[in-house]
A and B are shown apart, each in its own frame.
Chain A
Amino acid sequence: MTLLFDGIASGVLLFLISVGLAVTLGLMNFVNLAHGAFAMAGGYVCVTLLNRLGVPFLLTLPAAAAGAALLGVVLERLLYRRLYRASHLDQVLFSIGLVFVAVSSAQYLFGAQQQPLQLPPLLSGQFHLPGMDIGVYRLFLIVVGLALALALQWMVAHTAFGARLRASVDNPRAARGLGIDVDRVFVATFALGSGLAGLGGALGVEMLGLDPEFPLKYIVYFLIVVAVGGSGNIKGPLLASLLLGLFDVAGKYYVPQIGAFVIYAVMLVVLIFRPQGLFGRVVAR
């Protein structure tokens, strides 16, 4: 049972660090390899506030999201918007370049070492239920992750903003013709994606650590989640994360010799049978 809980927590952690990318890549169709850079920015906002200014951990989280979102808006206005219509290869080259800039900047500003993070006592430790040990922080991650997923899914599928967003991505010309301010929708969405990345980065520091290499170190995980989940919605990445997390934990527990590869095997199987991802829309773009 503990294993099941850990698997879900592990999956939700994957979801939290990748959900921002699910928005920028999945919804906006921009191959944003610099996703990790925004996550890292959020992480640094969090540890800086926490360690230097003594802000409580829970309050650093919205600040991390806001900081990363702000960074997202600035970069979107200055750089990203020029590449919306560029080929995917250009987007890849641009955003991977941005990753290197981010890595060096972080090293210059914060140094190469790991950043310390001390959770408040409220969120650390474990409590025991019959047959199950529950890590408090993991439980917190699960709650936050699921709440976020529900809120996002609802926003994309059931609000006017979600509808405008889907319209703007699928057919910007027609959307403009209908009076949608596509430009503004994109800035808002990009800010949302970056903010989510920042939040995920801040939440992930406790378990993933934080150093300037962060955006490169975990890029594979971000991409796997979005690839397996499929683009264009939020429940895909969520289910993909849970699936991967559960298999990862179970694999490492029962067959530790090959446990590390299970996650890739799952990805392969899913992509063989559903190349567009679990919930991907089959559209030729």
Chain B
Amino acid sequence: MTPMKTLVGLAAGAALTMSAWAADPVKIGLILPMSGPFAAYGKQIEHGIKLYIAQHGDTYGGRKVEFVLKDDNPGTSGDIDKRLAQELVVKDKVDLLAGFGLTPSAFAVAPLATEARKPMIVMNAATSAITTKSPYIVRTSMTLPQNTAPIASWAAKNGIKTVFTLVADYGPGHDSEAQFKKTFTAAGGQIVGEVRAPVKNPDFAPYLQKIKDTKPDAVFIFLPPGAETIAFMKGFKERGLAQAGIRLISTGDLPDEDILDAIGDSALGLITSFHYSEAHKSPENQAYVAAYYKAYPKDRPNFMSVGGYDGMHLIAAVLNKTGGSTDADKFVDAAKGMKWTSPRGPIGIDPETRDIVQNIYIRKTERVDGKLQNVEFDQVDNFKDPGKQ
């Protein structure tokens, strides 16, 4: 071997080391409920993330992304989330924190993100105030007021003068009730009755009867998507409230694609406002739905999967923009004002609040090709979270 060749070899070796350093993977700590009562949330969000990686590869800004997934079952106990986030930061040395199925987990981890200077991408948790809890939080899902206000305005504009509200007695229920009342009464509507039902409520009969006897133009409900929603809607149909001229309106997480089939035909005619529907008509969504069914034939794409998908898109786009840097300030600066077309439609990150700005659609639940779908027929463009105004 000539000296010259040795030198070239050394240089090549050095270059290899250099690029190996540059290509140090970006570690993303995912905190999601993967078991327990909210396991369906975690599963859907994970599906969204994996689908994005399968479609677009795993290297952004010259760096590979890797995931460390932690199950925060039940997802409602902040202490567990705090401990998991600590482990991710200290032991696994993650660069980003992401996921967060429910509000308590996002609230608990926010101070840690600030202290450890880690960007935190919220992919579902929907309480309005979350983004105010740390300057490093960016949200790609939705906020509850953002989805509640449009249905209240729609109701007021479409001949609904009196509304009975029924919400589950917990944080999101109260928020939803407050926002609905605010928007609806400001538009001239009247609330003729309000009930807070226990979160685990096995029988809605008395409430339904009360509503039937009160005879409002519509009932606005907010219940945890799942058994309660199903029980309420079945009861609504069984008791003939629709025939009595009462309309049922809610936010779109209730007839979410994940549980829509379990609600069955009782959901027909329900009017909701939401940011994502499997039936959204756009080429991006058609591609997304097709890819989703190919990857997960047993599940239906829903808003949580899109929250995960868009969250991953945000991470990818920011890494491309910063050349792979995950410095919290740079990351958040790059994310601010970012706009793209998601399967749900055009969306962006509000530069002031780091929260999502998106179209909210008014939909009606119908059968399309034999399948229950939320069909969009009206929309509010580029709607910011009204909860922070």
Query: Does A93 make an interface contact (CB < 8 A)?
Result: no
Measured between beta carbons, the chain A residues less than 8 angstroms from B239 are: 126, 133, 135
Measured between beta carbons, the chain B residues less than 8 angstroms from A13 are: 202-203
Establish whether residues A112 and B205, one from each chain, have CB atoms under 8 Å apart when the complex forms.
no
Which residue of chain B lies nearest to A118 when distances are taken between CB atoms in the complex?
Answer: B264
Q: A211-B227, A257-B196 are in contact. Are A6 and B264 (CB under 8 A)?
A: no
Establish whether residues A114 and B264, one from each chain, have CB atoms under 8 Å apart when the complex forms.
no
Measured between beta carbons, the chain B residues less than 8 angstroms from A6 are: 203, 205-206, 209
Establish whether residues B195 and A208, one from each chain, have CB atoms under 8 Å apart when the complex forms.
no
Establish whether residues B240 and A208, one from each chain, have CB atoms under 8 Å apart when the complex forms.
no
**Binary interface encoding of chain A residues 242-258 relative to chain B, with 1 for a CB under 8 A from any of its CBs, else 0:** 00000011111100110
Establish whether residues A9 and B205, one from each chain, have CB atoms under 8 Å apart when the complex forms.
yes
Establish whether residues B169 and A260, one from each chain, have CB atoms under 8 Å apart when the complex forms.
yes
Measured between beta carbons, the chain B residues less than 8 angstroms from A259 are: 206
Chain B contact surface mostly: helix
| Closest-CB distance, A108 to chain B (whole angstroms) | 10
Establish whether residues A124 and B226, one from each chain, have CB atoms under 8 Å apart when the complex forms.
no
Interface residues of A in 153-180 (CB under 8 A from B): none
Measured between beta carbons, the chain B residues less than 8 angstroms from A3 are: 206, 209
Q: A113-B262, A114-B259 are in contact. Are A107 and B39 (CB under 8 A)?
A: yes
Establish whether residues A209 and B197, one from each chain, have CB atoms under 8 Å apart when the complex forms.
no
Measured between beta carbons, the chain B residues less than 8 angstroms from A124 are: 238
Count A-B contacts at CB 8 Å: 108
**Binary interface encoding of chain B residues 198-238 relative to chain A, with 1 for a CB under 8 A from any of its CBs, else 0:** 10111101110110000000000000001110110010001
Establish whether residues A126 and B238, one from each chain, have CB atoms under 8 Å apart when the complex forms.
yes
Number of interface residues of B (CB under 8 A): 38
Measured between beta carbons, the chain A residues less than 8 angstroms from B207 are: 252-253, 256
Q: A118-B264, A126-B239 are in contact. Are A248 and B198 (CB under 8 A)?
A: no
Which residue of chain B lies nearest to A253 when distances are taken between CB atoms in the complex?
Answer: B206
A118 to B35, CA, bound (A): 27
Establish whether residues B238 and A125, one from each chain, have CB atoms under 8 Å apart when the complex forms.
yes
A112 to B210, CA, bound (A): 32
| Closest-CB distance, A262 to chain B (whole angstroms) | 10
Measured between beta carbons, the chain B residues less than 8 angstroms from A217 are: 37, 200, 227
Give residues in A with beta carbon < 8 Å to B.
Answer: 2-3, 6, 9-10, 13, 104, 107, 111-118, 124-126, 133, 135, 137-138, 206-213, 217-218, 221, 248-253, 256-257, 259-260
Nearest 5 CB-CB pairings of A with B: A209-B227, A112-B39, A252-B206, A260-B198, A253-B206
Give residues in B with beta carbon < 8 Å to A.
Answer: 35-40, 43, 169, 195-198, 200-203, 205-207, 209-210, 226-228, 230-231, 234, 238-240, 258-259, 261-265, 298
